[in-house]
Amino acid sequence: MFTRSASSPISVVTGGAGFLGSHLTDKLLAEGHRVVGLDNLITGNLENIGHLAGNQNYRFIRHDVSNFIFLPDDVDFIYHLASPASPIDYLEHPIPTMKVGALGTHNALGLAKAKKAGLLLASTSECYGDPLVHPQKEDYWGNVNPIGPRGVYDEAKRFAEAITMAYHRYHGVDTKIVRIFNTYGPRMRLRDGRVVPAFIGQALAGEPLTIFGDGSQTRSFCFVSDLIDGIFRLSQSDFHEPVNIGNPIEMTIKQFAEHILRITGSEHGIDYRPLPVDDPKVRQPDISRANKVLNWQPKVDFEIGIRETLEYFRSRLTADPK
């Protein structure tokens, strides 16, 4: 059991075996924290935290945070990252997605209140829906279809933000909210349905890249180390309203596909298919608030980040060609 120490804070990371949760765990350990990771492994992977086996400052508990969270440990801070986070995941697991956004957030906030701990909610740019304002600033309320197929994720996160602010205002819990924009890097799942692993996987497999629609929709891609740095800075701040963390450099999906074809040397081209329901046409963060409040901006060049991600996926395919 971890007990409170001024020199070594105790942090809980829900979704701790996921893509972002595992990278955040590494960051916290590097900053001198002791970490308790919680994950039900519905989309997380123990391989992401395998390198932490035997680390006396880390403990993993397999648990679904949609159920009551009991921890005997002292807790200084909770990073609530648990949730399916790609369309293929939340379309396959719609009810667990709603439950972790609603019940899971409620339980994490209850733990924070009971332990007198702070809490950071990992929210999403999907709160903006298919935006009518571009780029997206934190004071934009969004354009979300609550009953569309993506609504299970979008509305779960919007509810999570609302209950987080309620706990802050009513119970005085020290809360933070980060709205995460498209993030990529090592430890993404190759077949999680998001555009970065999808394009890289298809290119490495010698297949054409699948673009939904005409490829004119835009995204902004942030490397994972930059995102984690922003999350950590926010958790250490005194700011309580939502903060966008993402890379403001915008490109079309077609441009992104062309970059992947060039970098991989693939000659298999592009396969165009119908656009899914409610797929956002634009996505670009306004990071003025993050820059002002956190002195944060992304540093990793897109070309460098994509090549590092590509090498990760290439090594994974070599180890497991299936």
Q: Which of 153, 170, 184, 312 is catalytic?
A: 153
Which DSSP string corresponds to 193-250?
S-HHHHHHHHHHTT-PEEEETTS--EEE-EEHHHHHHHHHHHHTSS--S-EEES---E
Q: Which amino acid, 100?
A: V
The full length of the chain comes to 322
Nearest to 308 by CA among 134, 203, 186, 174: 186
Let me know if 140 is a catalytic residue: no
DSSP 307: H
Bridge partners (DSSP) of residue 192 are none
Per DSSP, helices labelled H in the chain are: 19-30, 87-92, 94-99, 105-115, 151-166, 195-204, 224-235, 253-264, 288-294, 302-319
Q: What is the DSSP letter of 282?
A: -
Distance (Å, rounded) from C-alpha 93 to C-alpha 90? 5
Residue 143: DSSP 8-state: B
244 bridge partner residues: 179
CA distance 83 to 18: 9
CA distance 161 to 143: 16
Phi, psi of 207 (to 5 degrees): -115, 155
Classify 50 as helix, strand or coil: helix
Looking at the annotation, which residues are catalytic? Answer: 153
